[in-house]
Structure 1
Amino acid sequence: MSGRWGWLDGLRAVAVLLVLYAHLTRYVFTDLRAVTGEWLHAGTAGVMLFFLVSGYIIPASLERRGDLRAFWVSRALRLYPMYLVAIAAVVLLAGYRTGEPVTSAVAHATMLPFLLDVPLVTPVLWTLTYEMVFYLLVTALFTVRAHRASAAVAIGLAVLGVVTAPLSGPRAGLVWPAAVVLVIGLGLVVSGRAGPVKAGGLLIGGLVVTLIALGQDPAHRWDGLLILAVMFTGTAIYRADQGQVGWWQPALAGTVVAAGLLINWLAELVVFDALTPRYVTRCVLTLVTFGGAFAVGRLCRHRRTPQWLSWIGVVSYSVYLIHYVLIQIGHRVLLSGLPDPLVAGGYLTAVLGLAWLTHRYVEVPAQRIGRRKRASPPPERQDGPGESPSVKETAWHG
């Protein structure tokens, strides 16, 4: 992405580099991690920044045309090709095994496995589950014409996240019912007929609420709803940038969501008897890191993004998926005892090289198909108020 929206690529680059640092330093430069890890959750800061970026741009890509069918075709072509390549690589090369392969395949096909009590093929797929949940919620709100209430939704989710935390753990047996409801709901949504569209929106909205309430993995029982609140805060900022709402709305939403994150993170520390000044500071610094990065990126949006940073942002989806697949496949090399700079340099070269290849030969061809689909005349609009300006849709997240 370049020009007006290039700053979003810069933010994606910062986000994926934070995640790379968090995962790579488990194997090399561990002494550095021991120091920085006491003061910053780099991985958490990175994925939260991804979520803010998605929240900012994804609803705009839907409202630009008011065409739910085109939106979902575009999203599928944007996410699934590389998603499937990463899964295939782990299954074939890293020896992923499960006692219920069909159920696991169905869960991963929904892109909701993290909420369906199914072991992930690769751990980083958890963020794509929340990405999919966000798409479903945005769609549900769009079908009932409540999509402009982004700040109110963010505040509501944040308050609910604090009041209900910790949420319930995962429930077994949800995979097949969830898959059936999802297929039916999305089928109705993309039908283009007003009644079925609204019914489909309500159906997938109900599915999302059920999964969030009953399917939270223990790792995110404290902040699952707050992740979604972060994304809707990004949407509220976009609306203020476009003059659709006053700036007081995202300011209020951001304040409430930030407070909710801190409250729940600190409450989780209390549960684990780890409420120390250092860990409290780490929570604050993590929040400031991703929130501050987004604020700086937005303030610099009229400046040219450095080319190298923009490039990393463009291929960030491939980098995000590939970097952990390579860890799963080659973790023995990372632990081989070779000098840390040599291992890190070789690993990063492999990640960026493969990301360039997969972006060019997997992502770009699928995106071209998506653009051709979007270029065709849209069906009759389902909403009415989809008058947002054109946005180049390359956001993935995540």
Structure 2
Amino acid sequence: MRVDQRVRRVAHPPGPPVDAAAPARDGEGSAAAATRRGRLEFLDALRGIAVLTVVVQHIGDYQWIGLLGWSEHWFRLGEFGVLLFFCCSGFIIPASLERRNDLVEFWIGRAFRLWPLYLTVTGVLLAAWERVPRPAGYRPVEDSVVNLTMLQVFSTRPLLIGASWTLGYELVFYLLVSVLFLLGWHRRSTASATVLLICALGLGGATTTYMLQLRPEHWWTQPAAALLLVGLAASRLPSWRLRAATVGMALVVIAALANRPHPAYFTLLVFSCMFVGTVLYRWTAAQTSGRNAAAVFGLALVVIVAAQHTWHHGYTEPLSGETPRWWTEAATFLAAVLVFGAAFLLRHRRWPRPLTYLGAISYSVYLLHALVLIVVPELPGRPWVNFVTLSAITLVGSVLTHHLLEQPAIAFGRRIAAARRTA
């Protein structure tokens, strides 16, 4: 298939929802994954587990300082949930793009999946600006514009929604997958995961955070070299539009990674976890062998421990006074990858409906719980009562936003994509 064909419409019947696209076929020795209403059950179950741990961590931290201290010292429950989300994205996002085989349609789906709810939550916070706690140093106009992009985590400006840092990593992953798709490298997931894991271990402390803004000595050499390599790879594409699109998206990826807030090893491990999910998808689609998938999975476990032990520098959390150790972070990453791997092996089984439903509305739960923690005044009751109350408000609000905002926006995006497909 020529590269330019990958950004044009390919005739096929409408598929399942974007976040639930099932692989077309199963690989060697793998059982078919159970689905419900076109959604992969094991992925929804994992999302349910992920958002549950995030909500318990964040709402619980406000009620029990001991929970915050425990998580900082022993196991980072909220980070575990976030990493589970990343593994799920690594599995399903390439499947979604390749099912469509149309980059524009893919981004239409992503835009109507993510931004309507995100912009609504952001609008509520800005409307309540005078009555809610403000991030230190937040500039209402300039910083609000930055926060609307979802890439604010890759700047030195404050985050309006603290939990939104994960959305920036998701967005960069979508861009990276899109670049690989245009270059025709999207099926080389085993190589991508291996390179990222090796770089996480070998280059974990080699670059400065916020490089583009702090500008240490020779700051420009690494992003310039990366952009040059992308430009050379893109030069073989058949049209200037494809070359411009590839270089443009790669420029955003490079700028974000060069100006990231986290150490290089952490960022590279995050993307490695995503690509581990992609490699497992490749196995189900018979695009790589089970041996390759197992090798990448095993390499990830080894590199997580080695990279955390080599590069981790803990920072004391001010409220609890606890400092995460290298093994705290290693255990968190390992648990996320292992839980994802276990659920993947059990993907042919049915999962409890309450858990899969929670996974289906997990995006609403993720954003709404952050909103509730900001706008709901401090409650005077007992910690357990307050925890249950805030969790209930989050859950009820999430059910409403999922059915009244998320689903209509996704359906509208599909109508736009369908109209484009038939034009």
TM-score tier (shorter): 0.7 to 0.9
Q: Say whether 1:208 aligns with 2:247.
A: no
Q: CA deviation at 1:34?
A: 4.1
Unaligned runs of 5+ in 1: 175-188, 381-398
> Structure 1 CA distance, aligned partners of 2:384 and 2:377?
16
* 1:168 match: 208
Unaligned runs of 5+ in 2: 1-19, 21-34, 216-233, 317-323
Amino acid at match of 1:58: I
Q: Secondary structure of the residue that 2:73 maps to in structure 1?
A: coil
Task: Describe how 1:128-277 pairs up with structure 2 within 5 A.
Answer: 128-166=167-205, 167-170=207-210, 171-172=212-213, 194-213=239-258, 215-217=259-261, 219-269=262-312
Q: CA deviation at 1:194?
A: 4.3
> Structure 2 CA distance, aligned partners of 1:252 and 1:374?
38
Amino acid at match of 1:82: L
- Please report the TM-score for the alignment, with normalisation by the length of structure 2: 0.77
* 1:314 match: 360
Q: Say whether 1:113 aligns with 2:159.
A: no
Structure 1 residue aligned with 2:61, among 26, 44, 57?
26
With over 3 angstroms needed to count, the CA separation of the structure-2 counterparts of 1:297 and 1:99, relative to structure 1, is closer
Contact 1:7 1:297 in 2 (8 A): yes
- Report Cα offsets for 1:280-319 as digits up to 9, x if no partner: 5434432332122212221222222211101110110011
> Structure 1 CA distance, aligned partners of 2:241 and 2:312?
45
> Structure 2 CA distance, aligned partners of 1:298 and 1:366?
29
With over 3 angstroms needed to count, the CA separation of the structure-2 counterparts of 1:89 and 1:271, relative to structure 1, is closer
* 1:357 match: 400
> Structure 2 CA distance, aligned partners of 1:255 and 1:30?
36
Q: CA deviation at 1:173?
A: 9.7
Q: Secondary structure of the residue that 1:124 maps to in structure 2?
A: helix
- Report Cα offsets for 1:14-53 as digits up to 9, x if no partner: 0111111221221224445544553211111111100000
> Structure 2 CA distance, aligned partners of 1:34 and 1:119?
24
* 2:164 match: 125
* 2:84 match: 49
Q: CA deviation at 1:364?
A: 0.6
* 1:344 match: 387
Contact 1:113 1:129 in 2 (8 A): yes
With over 3 angstroms needed to count, the CA separation of the structure-2 counterparts of 1:88 and 1:267, relative to structure 1, is farther
With over 3 angstroms needed to count, the CA separation of the structure-2 counterparts of 1:112 and 1:33, relative to structure 1, is closer
Number of residues paired by the alignment?
A: 356
Query: How large is the RMSD of aligned CA atoms in angstroms?
Result: 2.8
Q: CA deviation at 1:221?
A: 4.4
Amino acid at match of 1:168: T
> Structure 2 CA distance, aligned partners of 1:92 and 1:295?
42
Contact 2:74 2:328 in 1 (8 A): yes
Amino acid at match of 1:314: A
Structure 2 residue aligned with 1:66, among 101, 110, 123?
101
Q: Return the structure number with greater relative CO, CA threshold 8 A, min gap 6.
A: 1
